[in-house]
A = this chain, B = another copy of it.
């Protein structure tokens, strides 16, 4: 047995990947769409006004816990200002900080409800209800444009994009008009059938809308599969969907996705030191209390939080070299050179799956978001052994403050270790801190080893959760003595899927 943190020389990939600037997606004027609901979170669409996709394809990244889907649908119209809606779209703290247990009916009716994430789209019926726009088949007659816009087949789907398209004059629009949106969907890997069903419906509806036969549609659509599941579920995708399925290397896709997403304005962000302190050291002397007002925007980082809070990269530039720490069920740590060459240099088996697993056994929470909500109400000092508990004071000589955690869960055994003795809130906070701290510590040591100052955190573990982001940020600031910075992404969980989509764009131009 060993942790999956293997670092092998064979992991170096040659030849070099195309560096950011040669990605053949036109990102000029790209904007992140408003949240359709507070639950869509990292699934906000990205509008690319200048990109033209000659042939549609669907990218799928099947990880250990979640399957992510990315696809592009054309639409000529810029959406309303996202920043405003994105902020408004944030849910009030009450709904975040108060955990609620779900009834099965909740599950069957809500698809992207945050309280069932990462178990999104857990019912096939729900899976279909998120269909956004239509794919573009290879052969598209003139009738296409009108069909694209008279999207009766989709009208029942409350599709923002197509609803907007209704108001337009179809006849005036050419076939391959530029512009459209990248769409993002998440499914539980254990419910992989939902994912396949979703794609199946997307393809058949697109055929319908474009007025081409399903066979025609299948011939033109391609599945770009990556992640561990690309191997495990290859046959399932190919046989059920009857479309071409291409497998792409997971790490290559992650890096490709990172290079692309960091070119999107307002995608990358980081917490200010004050904010990190407010969230990770609440109530400490010299630490300003976290204003209730910014709690909202913290939950779902958006481009206009209070000045001292979150900073967004509004004028992004290529971000290589950097370290990418991808936190899914487990953790992969990838060094990316300036020329795009990369190596998986480390990792740890203590990742999102570990926290979900532990908290699902130790708390009544049934979803990861419930666990995160619990952690916000907790006080870890009831279960963690602090330096002060051992020394009765600071251990100044070593620079250990009395408030530092000497031993995670160190008080539990001493207090008898009975289930029910400790509050789910305190347990959740303690373990969220522990996992985030540990990942931050190992990430820092690798960043230091390879002399990298930019440390990107990706993966579905983060979920834009303030405490997680603050703890990871704090760990990097703490260990690097302020010389390195933790950077985050609004589409943190979709790097691999985006990369798989990108790689096809490139490959087509190569063909």
Contact = CB atoms under 8 A, between A and B. Distances in A.
Given A348-B438, A384-B349, A404-B3, A11 B409 contact: no
Given A349-B407, A405-B2, A408-B354, A392 B361 contact: no
Interface in A322-353: 328-330, 344, 346, 348-353
Contact of A434 (B188, B350, B433): B350
A232 B391 contact: yes
A474 B330 contact: no
A46 B7 CA distance: 42
Given A2-B475, A399-B8, A353 B442 contact: no
A212 interface: no
Nearest to A232: B392
A405 B357 CA distance: 14
| Most chain B CB atoms below 10 A, which of A407, A409, A438 | A407
A412 B358 contact: yes
Contact of A356 (B413, B475, B479): B413
B397 A249 contact: yes
A449 B441 contact: no
Contacts of A10: 396-399
A64 B410 contact: yes
Contact of A399 (B6, B387, B442): B6
A39 to B, nearest CB: 19
A470 to B, nearest CB: 9
Contacts of A190: 414
A358 B357 contact: no
Contacts of A188: 414
Nearest to A190: B414
A1 interface: yes
A392 B231 contact: yes
A120 to B, nearest CB: 14
Contacts of A348: 438, 441
Interface residues of A, number: 96
Given A232-B390, A407-B330, A350 B438 contact: yes
A190 B412 CA distance: 12
A256 to B, nearest CB: 16
A371 to B, nearest CB: 10
Contacts of A7: 399, 479
A281 to B, nearest CB: 6
A404 B351 contact: no
| Most chain B CB atoms below 10 A, which of A409, A411, A433, A478 | A409
Interface in A1-51: 1-8, 10-11
Contact of A392 (B228, B389, B471): B228
Interface string A219-254: 000000001110110000000000000000111000
Given A64-B390, A390-B229, A407-B354, A385 B3 contact: no
A4 B441 CA distance: 11
Interface string A85-105: 000000000000000000000
| Most chain B CB atoms below 10 A, which of A353, A398, A405 | A398
A413 B370 CA distance: 13
A344 B395 CA distance: 12
A63 interface: yes
A383 interface: yes
A230 B307 CA distance: 46
A460 to B, nearest CB: 12
Interface in A410-440: 410-414, 416-419, 422, 433-434, 437-438
B405 A349 contact: yes
Given A348-B438, A358-B412, A412-B357, A389 B1 contact: no
A280 interface: yes
Contact of A437 (B2, B229, B399): B2
Given A64-B390, A64-B406, A227-B390, 19 more contacts: A2-B280, A2-B405, A4-B404, A4-B406, A10-B397, A65-B410, A232-B390, A328-B407, A329-B410, A330-B385, A330-B406, A349-B408, A349-B434, A350-B350, A350-B438, A351-B410, A354-B409, A357-B417, A449-B449
10 contacts: A1-B433, A2-B437, A3-B408, A6-B400, A11-B397, A64-B389, A64-B390, A330-B406, A348-B438, A356-B409
In the A-B complex, list the 3 residue pairs whose CB atoms are closest, starting with the nearest: A360-B417, A8-B399, A357-B409
